Amino acid sequence: MTTLQTHQAVELWSVTRRYGSDEHAVTALDDISVRFSPASFSAVMGPSGSGKSTLLHCAAGLDRVDDGRVLIDGVDLTPLSEKALTRLRRDRVGFVFQSFNLVAALSAEQNVELPLRLAGRRAAPGQVRAVLAEVGLADRARHRPGELSGGQQQRVAIARALVSEPAVLFADEPTGALDNAASREVLRLLRAAVDRHAQTVVMVTHDPLAAAHADRVLFLADGRIVDELREPSGAEAIAARMARLESR
């Protein structure tokens, strides 16, 4: 590993991703290069079909790239086998999806412990409880996902993503299915992970209010990064940029 040379959590170098073949091919990512530094909170925005989800999938190693390279914590994903890739995801990547985040058969506690168990490790005593307490669900440890509200389920998913102390946490529309109060709580937790634990977070969203919590907002259109906003001053500024993008 080349930890000495790199200080980036995630790097994308000239990444291209195409779907379909021949004349029906759609280029979802078109020669994108972008870096996410440690302990940063980035939001990726764009109109539907802009390639923002594909960017997240490729950066997280859930999807393969057609061209270019993806590095997580300095490790190149391109040559890795499916098994090695899975191990890397397990050890260095955390996920929060829009919905269907939890294994319905397992309790909140078991869901959080899942990545450790899959890695063949036992959680340190109190570790799982501590992470659950951090997301405010210490008293719901033994509940099944079916007995939790949507917001609580999302908080369990965040706890699970944080438990293995990954190099980067990817969140795909984490507030997409939540009401305002639950959304605010989820975003507050993500922000806290960055501020308190120096966690790197990359979040895809279409909601300017959500993006306003980030340090940096990337705007995607037609598979390219077309704009960037650092230290956004508020949701209005982001919404204005988005509006401009969509009217192009």
Partner 1 sequence: MSLSMLRYRWGSFLGTFVALLVGVAVVAGSLSLWASARPRVPAELSGAGVLVAAPRYDPPDGGFPTHRPWSAEEVDGLVARLAAVPGVAAAVPDRPFYVQRLVGGRPAGDATGSLHAGRGWGSAGLTTYTFGSGKAPEKPGEVVVDAALGLPVGAALPVLTAAGPATWTVTGTIDRPGYYVDEATARGLAGGVKYIGLRLDPGARPDDVAARLPALLDGLGTALTGDARAAAEPEGDRSTRWIGAQLIIATVLVGAFVAIFVVASTCAFSVAQRRRELALLRAVGATPGQVRRMLLAEVALVALGAGIPGALLGAALAPLLAGPFVAVGLEPTGFRVGFTWWAPLTALAVGLVVGVLGVWLSARRASRVRPLDALRVAAAEPRPMTLSRWVAGSALLLCGGGLALLLPGSSAEQKPTVVLGSAMVLLVAAALLAPVVVVPVVRVVTWPARRGPTGLLLREGARVSARRVASTAAPVLAAVGFAVLLVGTFQTADEAVGIEDTAKIPESAVAARAEHAPGLSEAAVRAQPGRSDLVSTVYLESGEPLDATGTEVAGLVAPASLGWTAGRSVPLRFADGSVLPVTVASVSASSLTLQLPRDLLRAHDPAALTDVVYLSGDFVPAPGAERMTARAYVERKAAKEGDLIDLFLAVLLGISVGYTALAVANTLLMATHARRPEFLTLHRASATRAQAARVVVSEALLSVLIGALLGLAVAVPALFESRAGLQDEIGAPVTLVMPWVTLASIVGVCALLAALGSVLPLLRTGRGARWARTMAG
Residues lying near partner 1 in the complex (CB under 8 A) are found at: 53, 57, 62-63, 82-83, 86-87, 89-91, 95, 97-107, 110, 114-115, 117-119, 144-146, 149-150, 153, 160, 172, 177
Q: How far is the CB of 7 from partner 1 (least distance, A)?
A: 25
Decide whether 131 or 212 has the Cβ nearer to partner 1: 131
Q: How far is the CB of 237 from partner 1 (least distance, A)?
A: 29
Decide whether 17 or 241 has the Cβ nearer to partner 1: 17
Q: Which residues contact 83 (CB under 8 A, 6 or more apart)?
A: none
Cα angle 216, 157, 95 (rounded to 5 degrees) comes to: 50
Q: How far is the CB of 83 from partner 1 (least distance, A)?
A: 5
Residue with tokens 């995607």: 220
Q: How far is the CB of 149 from partner 1 (least distance, A)?
A: 7
Query: Do the Cβ atoms of 146 and 182 come closer than 8 Å?
Result: no
Q: What single letter denotes the amino acid at residue 14?
A: S
Decide whether 145 or 223 has the Cβ nearer to partner 1: 145
Decide whether 146 or 247 has the Cβ nearer to partner 1: 146
Q: Give the DSSP letter string of 151-188.
A: HHHHHHHHHHHHHT--SEEEEESTTTTS-HHHHHHHHH
